Structure formats: structure tokens, C-alpha cells
Amino acid sequence: MSTRAVTKAVIPAAGLGTRFLPATKSQPKEMLPIVDKPAIQYVIEEAVRAGLTDILVVTGRGKRAIEDHFDRNFELEYYLEQQAKHDLLKEVQGTSEMADIHYIRQRDPLGLGHAVSVAREHVGDEPFAVLLGDDIMVDESQLLRSMIDVHARYGRSALALKRVPSDEISSYGCVEPEPVHDGLVQVRSIVEKPAVADAPSDLAVIGRYVFTPEIFEALDRIEPGAHGELQLTDAIALLLETQTVYGCVFETGRYDIGQKVDFLRANIELALDREDLGGDVAEILRRIEPNGVTDRIKSAQTGVLSQLMSTSRFARLVEQEAIDGDKAYRSEEHTSELQSPDHLVCRLLLEKK
């Protein structure tokens, strides 16, 4: 099968970022830094590393800072040159030269499916990748490259898939898979944000896609779906009626920076990886471990202790803990129970009594 090579990437960046308010009241969430680099730069670097150098960012109101970031800044460059800050100058110039970046506005925030559909004119009759900015991959672009390889081999679309705990599946698009070989599945069906009981599997769609251009015809046909939005997942379900869609299953390298805890984890872990920062950050972590952390857990829990005590489950656990003391749990088979969050809370409750 002769297929055109994938050279274009579409990056939807029109979301309001309400989860990060007030930080995102007057700046795009895509510009929030992970260590010292805006989140969207990681995503664009990933695309470039995978060989995609024509990039369309779908923006919206209040997103001008993204365009400025990837543009030349002559005043800053002049200043850095005068100050002989050559490394910084190289870095600043690099962001404006890394790719051929285009912008288009999604005028109405009608959902991810709609955001991708506004890329139609730019993409034309070619396969293309979609990268969602809430997902940051630190895998040297391996996942994206493997998806592009699947497209090159089969001439069909490919989605990134990851197993998630079953109670988290309702936050994602979820597929019914049929294994092809290790790490590759065919998608039998797909549903957006299913209830846990209705989820066809624990395989969640993560924000990397490679599409055949036929996805645009499917996008034309979708109606508002989950949360009343035009969902990309619903267009993939329509595409499945006429074309096979593959899924590349991966395990590591992803930060879901749309979640505050993962955003913080990304900052800490990526700082630890840095030559210039890793040592100092490790030292900070060492200093607050173990006593500092335990103290913080205790004080964070003080506020919820009385609430917990009022629930019969915790009252029962505390009672049991009090009766048994440590003796019943000292045997080896209970070691893991001793570490469990429930029992930690019980211990704290008893210490406070």
C-alpha cells in the first residue's frame, strides 16, 4: 500500500485551563513551565524529534503568549548578545527556529473534535499527527515514532493507548482492543469517558494520534457527545466503520500535566534529571524525608481526622487497631497492611488519642 509520509502535526491549544486557575486567568495553560520550559515546547520538541516539522497550533482567545514564545524576540536577543550570554541566546533563538509553526484560531470552544476539524484546510489530503498538550512524553519520541511506523506499514490511523486503573477510565476515551502482536492492537470499538461499568477495557486513549485524512469526513458527521462537546473519539468511532484503526500500547514516559499532582511530579522528576539542578533538588527531597514528610502528612490529616472518625469504616479500623495493638500485625504476612494508608491514618488517630 502506498502511503504518504506523516510530516504535519496538529496541537490543539484552545482550552481554558480552568483546572489551573488562578495561574491561567491571564496566561495560556500551555505556557505553564515544567522546570523552566513552557509545557507546549516539550510537545513541539517531541513532534520535531519524530520528524514532524510542519506544526499547526490551534489556539483561541488569550493565547497570544504561545505565538510570541515561538517568534523572534530581537530586543531580548540584542540584550543577551550585549551581555555575552551566549548559551541563553542560543536557547532563545532555538525556540523560534525549531519548526515551521502555524497558528489558527478555534473561534468557538466546541470540543476537541471541533479543534481538530479546524486544521482541515492546513492539513489537506495528508496523514497527520495530533498531540494533546496535557500529555507530556519523556521517551525521546519513541511512542510517536512507533505510531508513525504503524501508519507507514498499514496506511491506517493509530492511537496511543495506556492501561489505567479501572476507576480512572471514565476520564478517557476507551477502546475495545483485539491483539495484533506485542504492543499493537486493532481497535474494535471506542467510547468517550465511559462509566466504569460500561468500559470495554482498561485501555485508555492518551493524547497522541496519527490520522488518515478521512478523519475529517468523520469529524463533519459528529454530533455533540460526552459533556455536550464535539468529541474526537466519536469521529474515530465513525472512521472505524470504513477503516481499520490501530492502537499502540505503551507503559512509561507520560506525565498527565493536566492533573496538578502529575504537573508537580513532572517538575520534580525532570528537575532531578537535570545536570544543573538535580543535585540541589535531591538535597531538598532528602531534607524533608522522612521526618518532614511525616510531619506534613500529620498536619494535613489533622483537619480530616474528625471527619474520618465519623465514618463507621474508619471507626471500626481504629477500634480494631486499638484492640489488636501491634501484636497481630507484627507477623510477616501483615507487613504490607501496616504500610497501607488506612492503617497509617489509624496509627495517627491512636497517637492523637
Retrieve residue 218's grid coordinates: 468523520
The interface region with ligand G1P, picked from 32-40, 225-233, 261-269, 280-288 by CB under 6 A, is: 225-233
| Interaction of residue 250 with ligand G1P, rule CB under 6 A | no
| Interaction of residue 66 with ligand G1P, rule CB under 6 A | no
Contact 117, 220 (CB under 8 A): yes
| Residue placing its CB nearer to ligand G1P in the complex, 80 or 204 | 204
Rounded least distance, CB 273 to ligand G1P, Å = 23
95 phi and psi angles, rounded to 5 deg: -65, -25
| Interaction of residue 204 with ligand G1P, rule CB under 6 A | yes
Contact 245, 232 (CB under 8 A): no
Contact 262, 309 (CB under 8 A): no
DSSP class of residue 98 equals S
Q: Letter for the amino acid at 187?
A: V
Provide the 10 A C-beta neighbour count for residue 313: 9
Q: How far apart are CA 290 and CA 295, in angstroms?
A: 9
Torsion over CA: 86, 89, 93, 95 (sign): positive
Rounded least distance, CB 110 to ligand G1P, Å = 13
Angle at 162 between CA 157 and CA 165, to 5 degrees: 145
| Interaction of residue 30 with ligand G1P, rule CB under 6 A | no
| Residue placing its CB nearer to ligand G1P in the complex, 112 or 147 | 112
DSSP 165-211: -GGGGGGSEEEEEEEEETTEEEEEEEEES--GGG-S-SEEEEEEEEE
Provide the b/e sequence for 31-50 (b: ≥16 CB within 10 Å). bbebbeebbbbbbbbbbbeb
Q: How far apart are CA 149 and CA 155, in angstroms?
A: 9
Binding test (CB under 6 A) with ligand G1P, winner from 215, 232, 271, 281: 232
| Interaction of residue 225 with ligand G1P, rule CB under 6 A | no
Binding test (CB under 6 A) with ligand G1P, winner from 207, 239, 308, 321: 207
Rounded least distance, CB 299 to ligand G1P, Å = 33
Retrieve residue 47's grid coordinates: 513532534
Binding mask 160-199 for ligand G1P (x = CB under 6 A): ------------xx------------------x-------
| Interaction of residue 137 with ligand G1P, rule CB under 6 A | no
Rounded least distance, CB 348 to ligand G1P, Å = 35
Rounded least distance, CB 57 to ligand G1P, Å = 16
| Interaction of residue 38 with ligand G1P, rule CB under 6 A | no
Rounded least distance, CB 235 to ligand G1P, Å = 11
How many separate helices (H) and strands (E) can be counted in the chain?
Answer: 15, 13
The interface region with ligand G1P, picked from 140-148, 161-169, 217-225, 231-239 by CB under 6 A, is: 231-239
| Interaction of residue 54 with ligand G1P, rule CB under 6 A | no
Rounded least distance, CB 173 to ligand G1P, Å = 3
Rounded least distance, CB 249 to ligand G1P, Å = 14
Q: Nearest to residue 116, comparing CAs of 62, 147, 157, 155?
A: 157
| Interaction of residue 245 with ligand G1P, rule CB under 6 A | no
| Interaction of residue 131 with ligand G1P, rule CB under 6 A | no
The interface region with ligand G1P, picked from 138-146, 228-236, 289-297, 342-350 by CB under 6 A, is: 228-236
DSSP 18-35: GGGTTTTSSS-GGG-EET
Binding test (CB under 6 A) with ligand G1P, winner from 135, 202, 234, 321: 135
The interface region with ligand G1P, picked from 53-61, 74-82, 130-138, 332-340 by CB under 6 A, is: 130-138
Residues numbered 317-346 forming contacts with ligand G1P, rule: CB under 6 A: none
Residues of the shown chain interacting with ligand G1P in the complex, contacts defined by CB under 6 A: 112, 132, 134-135, 172-173, 192, 204-207, 231-233
